[in-house]
Amino acid sequence: MAKPDPVQRSTSRLAIAMRRFRANSMAMIGLAILLLLVAVAIFGPMLWTYSYTDITPDLSKPPSWAHPLGTDTLGRDMLAMAMRGMQQSLLIAGTVALIAGLIGTIMGVVSGYAGGLVDASIMRLVDLVLTIPTIALAAFLGNAMSNSGVSWLGLSLVLGALFWTSVARLVRGVSLSLREMPYIKAAKVMGAGRIRIMLGHMVPNVADHIIVATALLVGVAILSETGLSFLGFGVRPPDTSLGLLISNAQSAVLTRPWLFYAPGVLIILIVLSINYVGEGLRDAFNPKAAPTNPLVAHRTRAMQTAAAPVDGDNALVRLADFRVRFPRIERPAVDGVNLSINRGEVLALVGESGSGKSLTALAIAGLLPIGAEASGQVLFDGRDMASLSFAQWRTYRGRRIATILQDPSTSLNPVLTVGAQFYETMRVAGPVSPAESRKRALELLVLMAIRDPERRLDQYPHQMSGGIRQRIVIALAMIHKPDLIVADEPTTALDVTVQGQVLDSLRVARERTGAAMLFITHDLALVAGVADRVAVMREGQVVEVKSVHDIFEHPEHTYTQRLLALAPRLDQVVKASAPVTGGQEPLLRVEGLSRHFRHPRGRTRKGADRNIHALCGVSFDLMPGETLGIVGESGSGKTTLLNTILGLHAPSAGRVVFSGEDLALPGARQRASRHMSVVFQDPYVSLDPRMTVSELLAEPMQIHGGGDIERRARMVLEQVRLPTAALDRFPHEFSGGQRQRIAIARALMLSPRLVVLDEPVSALDVSIQQDILALLADLKRELGVAYLLVAHDLAIVAELSDRIGVMYGGQMLELGEAGQVISEPRHPYTRVLLDAVPIPDPIAERERRTRSRAASWPTAANPLPPCPVPGVSS
Largest distance between two CA atoms of the chain: 107
Contact yes or no for 66/72 (Cβ under 8 A): no
Torsion of CA 528, 517, 359, 684, to 10 degrees: -50
3-state secondary structure of 617: strand
Q: In angstroms, rounded to a whole number, what is the distance separating the alpha carbons of residues 679 and 183? A: 10
Global pTM exceeds 0.75: yes
Contact yes or no for 273/33 (Cβ under 8 A): yes
Contact yes or no for 398/428 (Cβ under 8 A): yes
What is the arithmetic mean of pLDDT over 747-776? 87
Give the pLDDT confidence of 239-249 residue by residue, as tens digits.
788 877 877 77
- Residue 61: alpha-carbon gap to chain centroid: 61
Q: CB count, 10 Å around CB of 255?
A: 8
Give the pLDDT confidence of 523-548 residue by residue, as tens digits.
888 888 889 999 999 989 999 999 99
Q: b/e string for 681-713 if b means 16 or more Cβ within 10 A?
A: bbbebbbbbbbbbbbbbbbbbbbbeeeebbebb
**Which run of H or E residues covers position 541?**
strand 541-547
What is the arithmetic mean of pLDDT over 232-244? 73
Q: Which residue has the higher pLDDT, 467 or 317?
A: 317
DSSP codes of every residue in 652-706: SEEEEEETTEETTSTTHHHHHTTTEEEE-S-TTTSS-TTS-HHHHHHHHHHHH--
Residue 465 has pLDDT above 80, yes or no: no
DSSP state of 725: G
Q: Which residue has the higher pLDDT, 568 or 830?
A: 830
User: So what's the pLDDT on residue 143?
Assistant: 59
Q: pLDDT category, 635, cuts 50, 70, 90?
A: confident
Could you tell me which residues are beta bridge partners of residue 788? 628, 756
CATH number at 586-599+609-675+785-826: 3.40.50.300
User: So what's the pLDDT on residue 146?
Assistant: 55
User: So what's the pLDDT on residue 793?
Assistant: 79
Sheet of strand 754-758: strand arrangement: 676-679, 754-758, 786-790, 627-631, 803-808, 811-817
Residue 481 has pLDDT above 70, yes or no: yes
Q: Apex CA 7: angle with CA 6 and CA 13, to 5°?
A: 85
User: So what's the pLDDT on residue 449?
Assistant: 82
Closest-CA residue to 379 (of 302, 304, 320): 320
Q: In angstroms, rounded to a whole number, what is the distance separating the alpha carbons of residues 73 and 95? A: 32
User: So what's the pLDDT on residue 123?
Assistant: 92
User: So what's the pLDDT on residue 305?
Assistant: 43
Closest-CA residue to 433 (of 419, 445, 413, 446): 419
Q: 6 CB contacts (<8 Å, ≥6 apart)?
A: 694, 695, 698, 709
3-state secondary structure of 814: strand
Q: pLDDT category, 2, cuts 50, 70, 90?
A: very low
Backbone angle region of 682, left / alpha / beta, with phi > 0 → left and psi within -120 to 50 → alpha: beta
CA atoms within 13 A on the CB side of 273: 18
User: So what's the pLDDT on residue 9?
Assistant: 43
User: So what's the pLDDT on residue 795?
Assistant: 82
DSSP codes of every residue in 319-348: EEEEEEE-TT-SS-SEEEEEEEEETT-EEE
Dihedral sign, CA of 134, 140, 142, 143? positive
Q: In angstroms, rounded to a whole number, what is the distance separating the alpha carbons of residues 243 and 747? A: 57
Amino acid identity at 358: S
Q: b/e string for 537-553 if b means 16 or more Cβ within 10 A?
A: bbbbbbbbbbebeebbe
Could you tell me which residues are beta bridge partners of residue 98? none
Portion of the chain with pLDDT greater than 70, in percent: 86
Residue 4 has pLDDT above 60, yes or no: no
User: So what's the pLDDT on residue 761?
Assistant: 84
The residues spanned by each domain of the chain are 6-50+76-284, 299-395+537-549, 586-599+609-675+785-826
Residue 397 has pLDDT above 80, yes or no: yes
Q: pLDDT category, 294, cuts 50, 70, 90?
A: very low
**Which run of H or E residues covers position 619?**
strand 609-622
Closest-CA residue to 226 (of 93, 134, 137): 93
Residue 211 has pLDDT above 90, yes or no: no
Dihedral sign, CA of 769, 771, 776, 781? positive
Range from 302-311, 345-354, 814-823 carrying the lowest mean pLDDT: 302-311
Average pLDDT of the residues of the chain: 82
Residue 6 has pLDDT above 80, yes or no: no
Q: In angstroms, rounded to a whole number, what is the distance separating the alpha carbons of residues 506 and 366? A: 22
Residue 75 has pLDDT above 80, yes or no: yes
Give the pLDDT confidence of 814-859 residue by residue, as tens digits.
999 998 998 889 998 888 888 888 888 888 777 777 766 556 667 6
Give the pLDDT confidence of 368-380 residue by residue, as tens digits.
887 788 889 899 9
Q: In angstroms, rounded to a whole number, what is the distance separating the alpha carbons of residues 800 and 830? A: 18
Residue 702 has pLDDT above 50, yes or no: yes
What is the arithmetic mean of pLDDT over 200-204? 91
Same fold across 299-395+537-549 and 586-599+609-675+785-826: yes
User: So what's the pLDDT on residue 730?
Assistant: 87
Q: CB count, 10 Å around CB of 444?
A: 22
Q: Which residue has the higher pLDDT, 707 or 334?
A: 334
User: So what's the pLDDT on residue 300?
Assistant: 45
Closest-CA residue to 99 (of 150, 166, 149, 37): 166
Amino acid identity at 816: G
User: So what's the pLDDT on residue 528?
Assistant: 87
What is the arithmetic mean of pLDDT over 387-415? 83
Q: pLDDT category, 319, cuts 50, 70, 90?
A: very high
Q: pLDDT category, 345, cuts 50, 70, 90?
A: very high
Instruction: Say how many Å lie between the first and final Cα of the chain, rounded.
Output: 65
Closest-CA residue to 155 (of 258, 227, 76, 53): 227
CATH 1.10.3720.10 fits 6-50+76-284, yes or no: yes
Which CATH fold would you assign to the domain 299-395+537-549?
Rossmann fold (3.40.50)
Closest-CA residue to 300 (of 407, 373, 198): 373
3-state secondary structure of 164: helix
